Amino acid sequence: MTWIAWSFLPLLLALQSDRTPYKPPRQQPQEYNGPGREEADPEGLKEILIGYFGPGDPKHLEGGMFWMGASLAMEEVNWEGGYKGLSFRLVPGWSENPWSGGPSRVVRMAYVDRVWAVIGSIDGTATHLAEQVVAKALLPLVDPGSTDSTVNQANVPWVFSCAPSDRTICRALLKGLVDSATQKSFAVISATDHDSRALSTEFSALLRKSFISPLYQFDSQGVVPEIPVGVKAVVILAGVRDSARILGQVRRERKDLIVFGGPAMGRQVLLSQAEGVRCPVMLEPAEAYRLFVLHFAERWQTAPDFAAASAYDAARLTIAAVRKGGLNRARIRDALQGLSGWQGASGAVRWDASGRNNREVRLGTITNGRLE
């Protein structure tokens, strides 16, 4: 009996403790403590290659703005002299089905092209796939497009995300519901792709925590069912294509509804058809953004959106890290971490412990084709 009692003592002590971990992983900045920093700049280079995991086509519906923003940044830094007289060049790689061809593109960047860092990607799915490669290749990844918080919860110290997280987006949406007094009479319609599900899951968790329930919730894969009469507002959580489809169906059925949307509603391709929609403002329109808008419009003859600004910032941050750390992947990673608080076109970029930009967002309203 004595031996049995002593055998349970560690369990009893554990149950009586406060169970606080010695080193909470999500409260400690992620570090890379391995080798590589001792390597000097290589000699004989003719240019400096930076990978770009995304569509290298300005006309691409979801990814065109990202490419234009990153390209503009590269052109500007080359006008400024590049790095020790060497020009920077983006090396694009993409697959419309990232699961089948995406990782191989990033592998080629890392081991064949020998890029110094990667900018990417345009959504959570592709960024997750790129993350698996850079974790093995010890290659910095600066992510301009993903809002999925789980990208930064895999304890990979090589990944930095410029966009605010789904959690901050959901807080802004909930505040909008409360401010409009529709928190007791709203519906949620979400698409079924990875990013939409991640945003919807985060929003549902926040609603439960706030003891709020929608009157109606539906995952849309096609036609949206009839919305009950008691619903006064609808929250659409979807990507660019699905947001346009769902919004069109909702407005044909119920023109009286207050419509809230996710970040995709603020994309340039949707602004003309999303009049009156309330959605997150994913940037801080300060003087730096106004200058960026002027330069972007001059270069591309169109207005940018937050995706272009975020990709522009990702590229400028990457270049700043190269200039600070030199041509050394580990030191570039260190420099990226040290650049927290950097002021970009989209606003402040402040890394939290996981490498995610912790900038808050607020809601705006699309008025006359602009997100105000």
Q: What CATH number has the domain bearing residue 114?
A: 3.40.50.2300
Looking at the structure, do residues 85 and 120 belong to the same domain, yes or no? yes
Domains: count for the chain:
2
Burial class (CB in 10 A: 0-12, 13-18, 19+), 113: middle
3-state secondary structure of 206: helix
Phi, psi of 348 (to 5 degrees): -70, 140
Sign of the alpha-carbon dihedral angle for 12, 13, 19, 22: negative
For residue 40, the model assigns a pLDDT of: 87
3-state secondary structure of 278: strand
Residue 134 lies in a domain: yes
Q: 267 is written with which tokens? A: 């994309």
Looking at the structure, do residues 180 and 150 belong to the same domain, yes or no? no
On the question of pLDDT at 222 being above 90, the answer is: no
Looking at the structure, do residues 52 and 120 belong to the same domain, yes or no? yes
- What DSSP designation does 270 have? T
Phi, psi of 47 (to 5 degrees): -160, 165
Residue 66 lies in a domain: yes
- Which residues lie closer than 8 Å to 353 by C-beta, 6 or more apart? 26, 27, 28, 29, 30
Looking at the structure, do residues 219 and 126 belong to the same domain, yes or no? no
Looking at the structure, do residues 275 and 310 belong to the same domain, yes or no? no
Residues 203-219: tens digit of each pLDDT = 999 999 999 999 999 88
Looking at the structure, do residues 134 and 242 belong to the same domain, yes or no? no
Final residue of a structural domain among 224, 254, 281? 281
pTM given for the model: 0.91
Q: How much of the chain, in percent, has pLDDT values that exceed 90?
A: 75
Burial class (CB in 10 A: 0-12, 13-18, 19+), 143: buried
Final residue of a structural domain among 212, 246, 281? 281
Q: What is the dihedral of CA 170, 271, 52, 43, to 10 degrees?
A: -100
Residue 184 lies in a domain: yes
Residues 112-122: tens digit of each pLDDT = 999 999 998 99
DSSP sequence for 42-102: PSS-SSEEEEEES---TT-TTTHHHHHHHHHHHHHHHHTTTBTTBPEEEEEE--SSHHHHH
The alpha-helical segments, DSSP class H, found in the chain are: 2-7, 9-16, 64-79, 98-108, 124-137, 166-179, 194-209, 240-253, 287-300, 306-325, 329-338
On the question of pLDDT at 26 being above 70, the answer is: no
Residue 16 lies in a domain: no
Indicate left, alpha or beta for 327 from its phi (over 0: left) and psi (-120 to 50: alpha).
beta
Looking at the structure, do residues 273 and 329 belong to the same domain, yes or no? no
What are 371's strand-pairing partners? 366
On the question of pLDDT at 187 being above 90, the answer is: yes
* 67 or 272, higher pLDDT: 67
Q: Could you give the CA distance from residue 116 to residue 36 in angstroms, rounded to a whole number?
A: 13
Q: Are strands 88-93 and 48-53 parallel, antiparallel or unpaired?
A: parallel
Looking at the structure, do residues 275 and 178 belong to the same domain, yes or no? yes
Residues 305-335: tens digit of each pLDDT = 999 999 999 999 999 999 999 999 999 999 9
Looking at the structure, do residues 290 and 236 belong to the same domain, yes or no? no
The alpha-helical segments, DSSP class H, found in 181-282 are: 194-209, 240-253
Q: 104 is written with which tokens? A: 């191989």
What's the mean pLDDT in 226-235? 91
Q: How much of the chain, in percent, has pLDDT values that exceed 70?
A: 93
Sign of the alpha-carbon dihedral angle for 268, 270, 272, 275: negative
Q: Could you give the CA distance from residue 363 to residue 372 in angstroms, rounded to a whole number?
A: 9
Residue 247 lies in a domain: yes
3-state secondary structure of 356: strand
Burial class (CB in 10 A: 0-12, 13-18, 19+), 236: buried
For residue 1, the model assigns a pLDDT of: 47
Looking at the structure, do residues 173 and 160 belong to the same domain, yes or no? no
Final residue of a structural domain among 261, 281, 301? 281
Residues 120-156: tens digit of each pLDDT = 899 999 999 999 999 999 999 999 999 998 888 888 9
Confidence band, pLDDT 50/70/90 cuts, at residue 225 = confident
Residues 80-101: tens digit of each pLDDT = 999 999 999 999 999 888 788 8
- Domain containing 246: what range? 166-281
Residue 36 lies in a domain: no
- Vertex 262 angle, CA 260 and 265, to 5°: 85
Residue 292 lies in a domain: yes
- Which residues lie closer than 8 Å to 107 by C-beta, 6 or more apart? 133, 137
- Compute the mean pLDDT over every residue in the chain, rounded to the nearest whole number: 90
Q: Could you give the CA distance from residue 355 to residue 357 in angstroms, rounded to a whole number?
A: 7
Looking at the structure, do residues 159 and 176 belong to the same domain, yes or no? no
- Which residues lie closer than 8 Å to 141 by C-beta, 6 or more apart? 117, 118, 119, 120, 127, 130, 131, 134, 158, 159, 160
Residue 191 lies in a domain: yes
Looking at the structure, do residues 112 and 127 belong to the same domain, yes or no? yes
* 234 or 152, higher pLDDT: 234
Closest Cα partner for 139 from 174, 106, 171?
A: 106
